[in-house]
Amino acid sequence: MSSSDTSAVHVEGLDRVFTSKQGSVTALTGVDLDVAPGEFVSLIGPSGCGKSTLLRLVADLDEPTSGTLEVFGKSARQARLDQDYGIAFQQAGLLPWRTVARNIELPLALHKVGKAERQARVEELIELIGLTEFAGSYPDQLSGGMQQRVAIARALAERPRLLLMDEPFGALDEMTRERMQNELARICGETGAAVVFVTHSIPEAVFLSDRVVVMSPRPGRIVDVVPVRLPGTTRDDALREDAAFFDAVAKVREALHGEAPVGTRGVENR
Ligand SMILES: Nc1ncnc2c1ncn2[C@@H]1O[C@H](COP(=O)(O)OP(=O)(O)OP(=O)(O)O)[C@@H](O)[C@H]1O
């Protein structure tokens, strides 16, 4: 079996050039990447290096200029039609007039899942994100972190084998952000979903990922892939103090700075 049959995401020789009257911008060039089922991969790199563009291509929100892109061995379009992935972006994007439960239920309702099944799934998901008491609350009654948890639950509603996340915790304060990272690590462990995760934070990428993909300034290319091997099977706060964690943070930092000077805009060292 070729890698493209087994990968959650298979990208080969991918280019994306945006053309307009002002000229053309090469956002991505020669990108090769495989994400295995159940694997957590983060994309990190300076502002404008094409991280969101790559994620949007995988999500079939945009089309490559050239190259191969497959999601579970299918075209991105087919994977979208088959609901193979869930998406969560920086803005939680909840509908303010629907309760927490009804926001989570939305993709199921749109796909005509029966009422009893919908209710059971929503209950399960609300428990998973620890918001059972807030099922009947509206988004504006929740904190930013809680809203983001609801967005994650909604992305998981259809049991996707793949989650695409673009800076989902970027707008949260540091403490909430670390709590959300713990939560996401636990959820991924429980659901076994593969994740492609865009972030500007090196520690966040290291804490969550099996591998960190480091990209260069425009035109975006992959300059390094740092494997993260942290001890134990669960990712919790103790890991943030572990020597292996600091070691991986240093490796990612070196990979980033090999391409650009310290303080590269758009990458957080904290
Ligand atoms: N629809 C578009 N039309 C023209 N250019 C675009 C479009 N989308 C992205 N670009 C350009 O492609 C490049 C990559 O953008 P992208 O948003 O993928 O970067 P990024 O790495 O996600 O940045 P950031 O970290 O700041 O979010 C940028 O130069 C951007 O201006």
Tokens of 124: 């399960």
Substitution candidate for ligand 1 out of 31, 52, 89, 165 with most atoms within 8 A of CB: 52
Our answer on whether the CB atom of 38 is closer than 6 Å to any ligand 1 atom is no
**How far apart are alpha carbons 173 and 170 in whole angstroms?**
8
Which residue type sits at 159? R
> Burial level of 243, CB count in 10 A (0-12/13-18/19+)?
exposed
Our answer on whether the CB atom of 132 is closer than 6 Å to any ligand 1 atom is no
Residues 54-68 have pLDDT tens digits of 999 999 999 999 999
Which residue type sits at 235? R
Q: Quick check: 262 pLDDT over 90?
A: no
Residue 71 backbone dihedrals phi, psi, to 5 degrees:
-120, 115
Residue 270 binned pLDDT confidence (cut-offs 50, 70, 90): low
Residue 133 backbone dihedrals phi, psi, to 5 degrees:
-70, -15
Ligand 1 center to residue 50 CA distance, Å? 5
Residues 71-94 have pLDDT tens digits of 999 999 999 988 899 998 877 789
Domain boundaries in the chain? 94-159
Residues 124-176 have pLDDT tens digits of 889 888 899 999 999 999 988 899 889 988 988 888 899 999 998 887 888 88
Ligand 1 center to residue 26 CA distance, Å? 9
Tokens of 154: 């909604």
Our answer on whether the CB atom of 15 is closer than 6 Å to any ligand 1 atom is no
Tokens of 126: 């609300």
Ligand 1 center to residue 9 CA distance, Å? 21
> Burial level of 214, CB count in 10 A (0-12/13-18/19+)?
buried
Where do we find the tokens 């969550």? Answer: 208
Q: What is the pTM of this model?
A: 0.88
Where do we find the tokens 């793949």? Answer: 162
Ligand 1 center to residue 255 CA distance, Å? 21
State residue 5's pLDDT score. Answer: 55
**How far apart are alpha carbons 46 and 268 in whole angstroms?**
9
Tokens of 137: 């609350």
Ligand 1 atom nearest the C-alpha of 54 is 18
Taking the CA atoms of the chain, what radius of gyration do you get in angstroms? 18
Q: Give the residue-averaged pLDDT of 174-196.
A: 88
Percent of all residues in the chain with a pLDDT value above 90, rounded to a whole number = 60
**Do the Cβ atoms of 122 and 134 come closer than 8 Å?**
no
Our answer on whether the CB atom of 209 is closer than 6 Å to any ligand 1 atom is no
**End-to-end CA distance of the chain, in Å?**
41
Q: What are the CB-based long-range contacts (under 8 Å, 24+) for 122-125?
A: 122/157, 125/153, 125/156, 125/157
